[in-house]
Amino acid sequence: MKITNCPYCNSRTLYTLKDNYKKCKDCNKKFSLKKIDTDIKIIEGFCNNTPALNLSKHLNVNYRTVSNRYDIFRKLIANYLEELYYISIQDNTSYEEFYYFNEKQLQKKNKSLYEAINIIGFYTNNRVYTLLMPSLPKAPMQDKDEDFERYLKWHKLQSQNSYATPLKEFWEFLKQNLKKYKGVNQDNFFFYLKECEFKYNFTKPICKALLKDIYFRN
């Protein structure tokens, strides 16, 4: 792999060490070309929605290495989008509340909003941003939640009959993309939500360029 610019600071002042590592004269970072090449390929696989197991086999890299990188990418993406949200949000922002149910919950005959993950989506500057809200407080077991059942029916009807908006398109994008993980731990849901937000807002080439920049600058 030929690298002419430092992946960390983009400087062209690189020189080769005796162990075939490269070192940047400007930022003083030392790096292995093989590791940089692997990191870039994992970034591309992540942005192409390649499952970690499939990518590890394709690259002949340990699965845990790829999986750990994917986790790091999601955390870096979350931080990046949080910062972008605060400098992008404007007064003319539209917003919408959404209740996410996983596939197992959707198959249940009686669903309650108490089981859902509560999300608020914002649309501004041609991008979607999301905030994860606290779960709704659970009602006593003996209380039949008829009001919420009516709300679920109304919400489903509204979603089916309403015209397409970026936020409604994003909710569908979110549901379809999370299906491939066959269950996301609720503690990690925020990071998968931000992954979907990132991939919805930016094209694949931009996702790859942004993620390379975010990853190597941290």
Mean pLDDT (the chain) is: 84
Residue 15 pairs in a beta bridge with: 23
Position 195 in a domain: no
Mind listing the pLDDT tens digit for each residue in 11-47? 888 888 877 788 888 988 888 888 899 999 999 999 9
Residue 70 has pLDDT above 90, yes or no: yes
Lowest mean pLDDT among 74-78, 157-161, 170-174: 157-161
Please indicate, yes or no, whether residues 76 and 42 belong to a single structural domain of this protein: yes
More confident of the two residues 63 and 34: 63
Same domain, 12 and 74: yes
Overall average pLDDT of the 187-213 stretch: 96
Q: Which residue has the higher pLDDT, 99 or 195?
A: 195
Q: Are residues 82 and 96 in the same domain?
A: no
Residues 6+ apart with CB under 8 A from 179: 103
Phi and psi torsions of 173, nearest 5°: -60, -45
Per the domain annotation, does 193 fall within a domain? no
pLDDT of residue 91: 65
Position 185 scores a pLDDT of 82
Q: Strand 94-100 relative to strand 117-124: parallel, antiparallel, unpaired?
A: antiparallel
Same structural domain, 29 and 63: yes
Total domains, the chain: 2
Residues of the chain with pLDDT > 70: what percent? Answer: 82
- Same domain for 102 and 62, yes or no, is no
**What residues pair up with 40 in beta bridges, in sequence order?**
none
Q: Are residues 103 and 37 in the same domain?
A: no
- State whether 71 and 145 are in the same domain: no
Same domain, 26 and 101: no
In this structure, the answer to whether residues 94 and 61 fall within a common structural domain is no
Same domain? 6 vs 82: yes
| d(C-alpha 43, C-alpha 66), whole Å | 9
The residue with greater pLDDT, 217 or 162, is 217
Q: Are residues 118 and 69 in the same domain?
A: no
- At residue 129, the pLDDT reads 94
Question: What's the token pair of residue 217?
Answer: 């600058």
> Mind listing the pLDDT tens digit for each residue in 104-145?
777 776 666 677 888 999 998 889 999 998 876 665 544 545
What pLDDT, on the 0 to 100 scale, is given for residue 51? 94
With respect to residue 189, please indicate whether it lies within any of the assigned structural domains. no
Instruction: Judge whether residue 149 has pLDDT over 90.
Output: no
Cβ distance 149 to 110 under 8 Å?
yes
What domain range includes position 146?
A: 90-183
Task: Answer whether residue 196 is part of any domain.
Answer: no
pLDDT value, residue 48: 97
Same domain, 65 and 131: no
